[in-house]
Structure 1
Amino acid sequence: MNVRRRGSAAALAVIAVLGAAAAPAAAADPSPSASASAPSQPSQPSTPSTPSTLFGTTDPQYDGVWRQSLALLAQDTAGVLPSSGAVDWLTGQQCANGAFAPYRADTAKACDAKTMVDTNSTAAAVQALWAVGGHGDAVEDALAWLKSVQNKDGGWGYSPGGASDANSTSVVIGALTATGTDPERVEKDGRSPYDALLASALSCAEDGGAFGYPDQDGKLLANADATAAGVLGALGKGLVTEAGEKTDTAATCADADQPTREQAAANGAAHLARALAEDGHLKSALGGSADQPDYGNTADAVVALAAQGGVEKAAEPLAWLKKNAAKWAEQSGPAAYAQLIFAAHATGTDPRAFGGTDLVEKLNATGPAPRGVTDTATISAQDAEQDEKKDDSGFGVRWIVGGCLVVAIAVAVGLVLRARTKKQQP
């Protein structure tokens, strides 16, 4: 199904009611509108490799779009209104065919066959742009491109035409479900993304139920990163998800001739739980050195475990992250802060008090100042009125403008509800 283009009537109604009382700070960044809980931060100094509207200061050649997408998505998840310039930077990276490359230094130059577009950057951008709203055309074009490069087995590789892998297929599944598109209905030669994902699920007897990632010869090898991604993909979840239903049973793996998506997710979660049991975190070997704590994959594992079996399943690695991950995130930058915010969200943890660290403030400080923040009541209102949040006009109704805002939103929502009621009448 195509992404629904949102009408602009609701946003125009809000703007008309708010009038001069709530002019959004969209023209320039930084904006003075951030509240005390997310103070304005000065934009990063502009250099040839790090534009002032880009999150992070390291060379964006390989991860610019990815880290920008995760940062914007994390801000939205935490109730922060991202900088308009940061969102514009992301949309400006899109090629005319809808795809995204990791980074385009010269966006005035059209993409060509040498532009290294990829599915991961594109799918992450879809999730971020859908979350912040106002970019339905860009989202729809990106989804159309993703569908056009779907492999015959139903999945995706990192690069168009590359062999399908659990990581890439899962992040695209997240983009599809985030935008209300059923992955089951996105088929190539009769195969859906879930078919490709299940093909990468390994046996309990040999690999403990992990999801595999292909080596140079195409052989699937158990991989923690692929497993965390595969669990979310099998559940039809994106980068941002809440905890699933609590399961009281111990993490076990069960083989089946034709495992369901739910069973594959449970097997993957069991594999992660066993890998985390000894130290409370995952490990990785770098360049033949001794095993090191793998903070990023541990954060992803927390999200996967919580989504599959409830908050309690992720308690131990979550506690380890709260105690140990602050320095890693500071050194690694915006994407790392975003991963921790996703872990906090999935477990119902306050990201502003994560082991003594305000992850939201730290993330905000790595990029252009946000336009503002929302309070809990406003967030709840937006959840109930999702169409307004995603309105294609580019305007939201989440500005903090004092007491006038409450009245203005109430009037605007009333207009929207009356319009919907009238539209639904025979």
Structure 2
Amino acid sequence: MNIRRSAALVAATAVIGMATAPAALADASAPSASPSVAIPSGLYGKTDPTYDGVWRQSIALVAQDTVGVKPADKAVDWLTGQQCTNGGFAAFRAEPGKECDKKTLVDSNSTAAAVQALVAVGGREGEVTRGVDWLKKAQNGDGGWGYNVGMDSDANSTAVVIGALVAAGEKPADVKSGRGKTGQDALAALALPCSGAKDGGALAYQPDKKGKLAANADATAAGVLGALGTGMAPGKGKAPDSYVCKDGRTAGDLAHNAAVYLQGQLSTRLYLKAVTPGSTKSQPDYGNTADAVTSIAAAEGVKYTKDPYAWLEKNAGDWAEQSGPAAYAQLIFAAHATGNDPRDFGGTDLVKALNATGPAPSSTKAATADEKKKDDGDGGISVWYVVAVAAVAGIGIGFLFSGRKKQQL
């Protein structure tokens, strides 16, 4: 949902106040620079975690839960240790024992991803509650969320936050700003109409300086899952009556129209392309393609995902191996949503590969219902709170992620 930028770019834009994706989602195809800090033993991935540590850890844990893997306690403990007392998470804190202060860049994406992960592993209700409280306080007046508090809302941040709310048992339609707006309202404002506009059905990351909307594939994939009210690892959806974009403002309309746009993008060459800022050369965007496949399958079923998924199986293995846990997680989500086996992804066992990037899991077998109940405790929060589209009409959530600033082609 793509994470859709090198770590250095992410850092720079975050510092100067520009919303951007976590490094893993920002550009999982670009290797991080040599680590400037020691890699904690409980952390997944061996590249510099300064700008994406919490993000990659979180989506790795969600992906493991999706395939029945119970992570090592030290992996979960590392994540909970990153939380500030106010409930928020920064991208990475090298000194988790040190109290967070005003200089700690707590952000919505890291916090929302961590909430989803902690719900998935179970037994961390206190941390989840504090994280959700922080997210509610960070909501903008238009109902959405920006990357950092005070930033304008963007589709990707709004998306991942709604996923966290749903995972934690909240009804996003009830989470309103002081102006009475919801995350759905924020997403609807970023959707291009089906008629009278180029790229109808797509979502923009944010309006430009003149208030105009431009289609962004990453934001669109995020918007699909947000409108559906799912988290990072949705299941396969039901085929619609029509694959045509039709104007409408409900959650179901947003998800359908955005999926139709993505279908059109993938129908021409099976994958999405991106142009790195400052360059005229384009290249396959593996992460965003995986996100698009996941979102389309969740909204429309697998009819339009078979060929793009096959393309990923053939071409994305080297990218995932180079990029690490976040990339493996994205591919696992795509396999899960399309009903494919992530342990046989073009000859690669994605689950085994993901597990190998961090501490050995406690178990690689799916927990029974009784075991999960025991882990959660009485009154525990369900892994994915099921919300009917009708109940979330007027909501929205993005996919994995915070917006890519690459030009999507």
Is 1:243 aligned to residue 233 of structure 2?
no
Q: Residues 393 and 270 of structure 1: is their aligned pair in 2 closer, same or farther, counting only changes over 3 Å? A: closer
Higher relative contact order, structure no. (Cα contacts within 8 Å, ≥ 6 residues apart): 2
Q: Residues 303 and 179 of structure 1: is their aligned pair in 2 closer, same or farther, counting only changes over 3 Å? A: same
* Contact 2:45 2:358 survives alignment (8 Å): yes
Is 1:281 aligned to residue 274 of structure 2?
no
Paired residue for 1:85, among 64, 74, 80?
74
Who is 1:149 aligned against?
Answer: 138
**What SS does the corresponding residue of 1:311 show, helix, strand or coil?**
coil
Is 1:178 aligned to residue 172 of structure 2?
no
Distance 2:246 2:324 in 1: 38
What CA deviation, in whole Å up to 9, does each residue of 1:318-362 have, x standing for no partner? 111111111000011100000001111111111101111000010
Superposition map of 1:270-349 within 5 A: 270-286=260-276, 287-349=278-340
* Contact 1:201 1:211 survives alignment (8 Å): yes
**What SS does the corresponding residue of 1:208 show, helix, strand or coil?**
coil
Who is 1:254 aligned against?
Answer: 246
Aligned residues: 341
Distance 1:297 1:281 in 2: 9
What CA deviation, in whole Å up to 9, does each residue of 1:137-174 have, x standing for no partner? 00000000000111111110111121111101110110
Shift of 1:389: 4.3
Distance 1:103 1:190 in 2: 33
* Contact 1:183 1:192 survives alignment (8 Å): yes
* Contact 1:49 1:60 survives alignment (8 Å): no
Shift of 1:183: 0.2
TM-score (norm: length of structure 1): 0.77
- When Rg is computed on C-alpha atoms for both structures, the one with the higher figure is 1
Stretches of 4+ aligned residues off by more than 4 angstroms: none
**What SS does the corresponding residue of 2:205 show, helix, strand or coil?**
strand
Who is 1:11 aligned against?
Answer: none
Shift of 1:246: 2.1
Is 1:202 aligned to residue 192 of structure 2?
yes
Question: Which region of structure 1 is more displaced relative to structure 2, 110-119 or 239-248?
Answer: 239-248
AA of the residue aligned to 1:295: Y
Distance 1:344 1:92 in 2: 31
**What SS does the corresponding residue of 1:277 show, helix, strand or coil?**
helix
* Contact 2:155 2:206 survives alignment (8 Å): no
Who is 1:26 aligned against?
Answer: none
* Contact 1:135 1:392 survives alignment (8 Å): no
Whichever structure has more helix as a proportion of its residues is 1
* Contact 1:134 1:392 survives alignment (8 Å): no
AA of the residue aligned to 1:231: V
Distance 2:36 2:362 in 1: 23
Superposition map of 1:401-412 within 5 A: none
Distance 1:273 1:304 in 2: 10
Shift of 1:248: 5.4
TM-score (norm: length of structure 2): 0.80
Superposition map of 1:40-79 within 5 A: 48-79=37-68
* Contact 1:136 1:392 survives alignment (8 Å): no
* Contact 2:36 2:48 survives alignment (8 Å): no
Percent identity of equivalent pairs: 58
Superposed CA RMSD in Å reads 1.9
Superposition map of 1:212-223 within 5 A: 212-214=204-206, 217=209, 219-223=212-216
Shift of 1:208: 2.0
Who is 1:417 aligned against?
Answer: none
Who is 1:388 aligned against?
Answer: 374
**What SS does the corresponding residue of 2:261 show, helix, strand or coil?**
helix
